[in-house]
Amino acid sequence: MEARGIWKYFDGNPVLSGVDLAIQHSEVHAVVGENGAGKSTLIKVLGGIYQPDRGILLIDGAPRRLRSPRDALAHGIVVIHQELSLAPHLSSEQNIFLGHFPVTRSGLVDRREMRRRTEVLFDRLSISVDPGCPVGQLSIAQQQMVEIAKALSLDAKVLILDEPSAVLDDDRLQILFGVIRRLRDQGLGLVYISHHLDEIFSIADRVTVLRDGRPTGHAPVADVTEDWLVGRMIGRDFASSPPQSRASGRIAIELRGLSRAGQFDDISFSVREGQVVGLAGLVGAGRSEVAQAVIGAVRPSSGSIAVFEKAVRITGPHAASRLGIAYVTEDRKTCGLLANRPVRENLTISNLKRFSRLCFMRPRHELRFARDLIARLDIRLPGMGHEIRKLSGGNQQKVLIGRALAVRPKILILDEPTRGVDIGAKQEIYAIIERLLAQRVAIILISSELEEILRLSDQIVVLRRGRVAATLSRTQASEAAIMRAAAGGL
Amino acid sequence: MTRHGAGQRLTVLLALLGLSIAAMALLSSSFLQVGTLQYILQFVPIIGLLGLGQTLIILAGGPGIDLSSGAIMSLCGLAIAGLSKLGLDPYAASAAGLALGLLLGSVNGALVAVIGIPPLIATLATFFLFGGLAIAMTNGRPIAGLPGSFGWLGQGTQFGLPNQLLIVFIPVAVALHVMLHHTRVGSHIIAVGNDHRAARLLGIRVVRLRFGLFALDGALAALAAVVNVSWFLAARPDAGRGLELAAVTVAVLGGTRIFGGEGSVAGPVVAVLIITVLQGGLQLANISPAWQLGLVGVLLIGSVIASDLPPTLPHAWLRR
């Protein structure tokens, strides 16, 4: 399959400008680029979801129009999206053959044949999953495999994987790589989308780099270096500034023996003005749950919280907001963005009091504030009325941070602030954090990226199974020290 | 819906209104007479008040709906008429009726927002409860014979327009418009309708807001009851029967997204005008009420197609 000179416009803005991509049989082709570089749009063009405004798609050398995902499937092109599209209550075999069930001569679903073919597919992938088990009970990694099996059952020739690694830990990733290599050796052409450069080097044969919808590089992976890729992706240099020591002020917030049955137990730490306390730990260690309790989204069962050395009862997020505590969620999609509302509303909704007199809104104040914030955070968008779901992940994240800033927080909780965000936006978010610290905001940072925690935190609290496993100062902290505490003495 | 989308919807509705008026004028020669229009406008406030209440409930998401507003109207009407018959001043009785509406609406609010029963089920239950109570208390008989002086609101006119329109509906519609589009509460309603989890996390008190909207909806239903009692100088225990569905129709025809988060006040107001023009016109032309209902159904589907599909559908067609 080949795409030649693909252009795609949204509201008159080019999102793809002349992108070429040739996918060979028996090859893994990586597509890299920052968020907003046009990767998702390109996939949607390849998968028949969008039609290109200019340019052509060639399949086996012949030009084709893909008018719908169904068209694409008919040509053996299957996209596996980041959000999997499985029906959770159906079994994996039912999911795999949904829409093309094998039937017996009498027209009924041939269960035995379905089971047999499922097992053949699973064999081909060398995975062991019970074909009859409802998909909802499988792990994310297993679900991904079922999705790939589904693609194979459709006789896929080109398989497009959109950031499959985002939901996988290291071991699972190696299993996925094994499957990808096997499929490549069986003759499939694969497209692999990712942020993580190390993955590109371990799995891809060829790489195409996109920046702002333009192809900026194309080469066999064996011929390129990480620096080359990063340079092509961001088109500018950034200095990874070493953290300076920060002036600290009064204790802004203190947790004293905070507990919630079954989630976390006896959590104590404090954060000073202008400082960052990093909450580290494995997924499931209770970090987000602690944050939820601090903002009153859930009630702790015992323990107390003091804000500026005054004990407070936080009865809900509204109360937290009144105390100057703001929270940026880890889950942008389902509990962060007001997806269908314009950017301006998304920025200001957290503190409308600031933009109103009595209870009447003052739209001009609101607009001025939003403009100012967009400039300050360098949020890139076509227009203020633009619906936020159309922005890239990095820009969406900046809007959420901007929203938290609208309440003029004294205490800011950032839960995975750079998840799903590209390298450039990540640096920008770090710069925003440093500016906030200079303004004496106290920050609680939750992150699964050790590098991020180490770079930003003045103090690191490591949680393990809902308890504080270690409290490390900046000088004591290292990746090894954190991992030892988080995983329990390796 | 973005502002652009809302404007588009309003244009379609206004065109539909023009079309309905033209069609009715062709259908019966007496339609465009002043008396006829006055007569038709009398039907606007009651459906309009219920429709706007319903719009707010749906807007706040959930997916919200209030199936009991017609029953609340019936029950409040009986309370107003009954208290008046007991010797209370009808206007004081109306105030009591409004308080009752607020209370009954709060019952819905408590069931839905506080206890967390899905709105469809909770208000279906109160629909039976309130409606049954209205029948039971009166044995199904209307309460009639209120003093003629109370008819001023429901029957009187000012500058050729019904008082109930000038004094009740227009001010309420304007107030709700301002509330929805120019106050914090309005923005919060839209935000909650869009994503209640996000809204809660950023400090909006979702439970309180939804509770308040159900209470407000109850009060609006009671206001419709005041208008109705004053109009007929009597209260029937089934006065509001079927109006809850008319209210849903008004809200949806008026461009309210059924899952919440998108909509306006202007849209439902035009939708009420369309519905009353059609019903009044067809009645005037002696066409059976059954057809009137059928036409409203067609209109509902037609308007959704006309205003929601153009951005994508013609494109798809052109590409073929």
Record the tokens describing residue A53, joined without a space: 């405004």
**Which residues fall within 8 angstroms of residue B101, CB to CB, at 6 or more apart?**
B72, B73, B76, B218, B219, B220, B221, B222, B223, B225
**What does the pLDDT average to over A181-187?**
91
Cβ of residue B30 closer than 8 Å to a chain A Cβ: no
pLDDT of residue A488: 62
**What does the pLDDT average to over A479-487?**
77
Domain B3-308 CATH (choose: 1.10.3470, 2.60.40, 1.25.40, 3.30.1490): 1.10.3470
Q: Domain-by-domain residue ranges, chain B?
A: 3-308
Place of tokens 């028996």: A26
Q: Does residue A369 surpass a pLDDT of 90?
A: no
**What does the pLDDT average to over A394-406?**
88
Q: Does residue B2 surpass a pLDDT of 50?
A: no
Considering only CB atoms, which chain A residues are within 8 Å of B184?
352-353, 356, 359, 361
Cβ of residue B85 closer than 8 Å to a chain A Cβ: no
* Spatial CA neighbour of A54 closest among A19, A2, A7: A7
- In this structure, the dihedral spanned by the alpha carbons of residues B122, B124, B126 and B129, taken in order and rounded to 10 degrees, is -140
Task: Please state, rounded to an integer, the average pLDDT across all residues of chain B.
Answer: 89
d(CA B59, CA B267): 13
d(CA B240, CA B46): 9
pLDDT of residue B205: 92
pLDDT of residue B314: 45
d(CA B163, CA B167): 6
**Residue B273: CA count within 13 A, CB half-sphere:** 20
pLDDT of residue B224: 97
Nearest residue on chain A to B194, judged by CA atoms?
Answer: A338
B4–A385 CB contact, under 8 Å: yes
**What does the pLDDT average to over A306-332?**
90
Is residue A425 within 8 A of residue A396, CB to CB? The reply is no
Q: How many beta-carbon pairs under 8 angstroms link A with B?
A: 85
Cβ of residue B29 closer than 8 Å to a chain A Cβ: no
**Which residues fall within 8 angstroms of residue B136, CB to CB, at 6 or more apart?**
none
Taking CA atoms, B57 is separated from A421, B146, B178, in Å, by 37, 33, 17
Q: Give me the interface pTM, i.e. the ipTM.
A: 0.74
- pTM attached to this predicted model: 0.73
Highest mean pLDDT among A37-46, A236-245, A462-471, B102-111: B102-111
**DSSP labels for chain B?**
--HHHHHHHHHHHHHHHHHHHHHHHHH-TTTTSHHHHHHHHTTHHHHHHHHHHHHHHHHT-SS---TTHHHHHHHHHHHHHHHHHTT--HHHHHHHHHHHHHHHHHHHHIIIIII---HHHHHHHHHHHHHHHHHHHHTT--EE---GGGHHHHH-EETTEEHIIIIIIHHHHHHHHHHHHHBHHHHHHHHHHH-HHHHHHTT--HHHHHHHHHHHHHHHHHHHHHHHHHHHTEE-TTTTTTHHHHHHHHHHHTT--TTSS---SHHHHHHHHHHHHHHHHHHHTT--HHHHHHHHHHHHHHHHHHHHSTTTHHHHHHH-
Rounded to the nearest angstrom, the minimum Cα separation between B312 and chain A is 12
A352–B205 CB contact, under 8 Å: no
Highest mean pLDDT among A484-488, B61-65, B212-216: B212-216
Confidence of residue A71 (pLDDT cuts 50, 70, 90): confident
Nearest neighbour of A335 by CB, restricted to B184, B198, B203: B198
- Order of strands across the sheet that contains A2-10: A13-22, A2-10, A54-59, A62-64
pLDDT of residue A239: 44
**Identity of residue A484:** R
pLDDT of residue B4: 52
Rounded to the nearest angstrom, the minimum Cα separation between A231 and chain B is 37
- In this structure, the dihedral spanned by the alpha carbons of residues B40, B41, B47 and B48, taken in order and rounded to 10 degrees, is 150
The number of angstroms, rounded, from the C-alpha of B205 to the middle of its chain's C-alpha atoms is 25
d(CA A428, CA A436): 12
pLDDT of residue B320: 41
pLDDT of residue A240: 46
Contacts within 8 Å (CB) and 24+ apart, B238-242 = B238/B74, B238/B131, B238/B134, B238/B135, B238/B140, B239/B73, B239/B74, B239/B77, B240/B50, B240/B69, B240/B70, B240/B71, B240/B72, B240/B73, B240/B74, B240/B77, B241/B70, B241/B74, B241/B131, B242/B70
Q: Does residue A155 surpass a pLDDT of 60?
A: yes
Record the tokens describing residue A293, joined without a space: 């309790």
Record the tokens describing residue A114, joined without a space: 């379905």
Q: Does residue A305 surpass a pLDDT of 90?
A: yes
Record the tokens describing residue A277, joined without a space: 């306390």
**What does the pLDDT average to over A174-184?**
89
Helices (H) and strands (E) in chain A, counts: 17, 22
pLDDT of residue B267: 94
Place of tokens 């998304």: A346
Residues of A within an 8 Å Cβ radius of B: 51, 67, 295, 297, 316-318, 320-322, 327, 329, 334-342, 345, 349-350, 352-353, 356, 359-361, 385, 387, 403, 407
**Residue B185: CA count within 13 A, CB half-sphere:** 16
**Which residues fall within 8 angstroms of residue B2, CB to CB, at 6 or more apart?**
A342, A385, A387
Name the strand (E) or helix (H) holding A270.
Answer: strand A264-272
pLDDT of residue B122: 96
- pLDDT: which is higher, A49 or A230: A49
Is residue B142 within 8 A of residue B84, CB to CB? The reply is no
Considering only CB atoms, which chain B residues are within 8 Å of A332?
none
Place of tokens 């991020």: A452
The domains located in chain A, with CATH, are 2-234 (3.40.50.300), 251-487 (3.40.50.300)
Q: Does residue A334 surpass a pLDDT of 80?
A: no
**Please, what is the end-to-end C-alpha distance for chain B in angstroms?**
28
Considering only CB atoms, which chain A residues are within 8 Å of B259?
none
| pLDDT tens digits along B6-36 | 677 888 889 989 998 998 888 888 888 888 8
Coil, helix or strand for A456?
helix
| Phi-psi sector, B129: left (phi>0), alpha (psi -120 to 50), beta | alpha
Record the tokens describing residue A63, joined without a space: 């030009």
Cβ of residue B195 closer than 8 Å to a chain A Cβ: yes
pLDDT of residue B319: 44
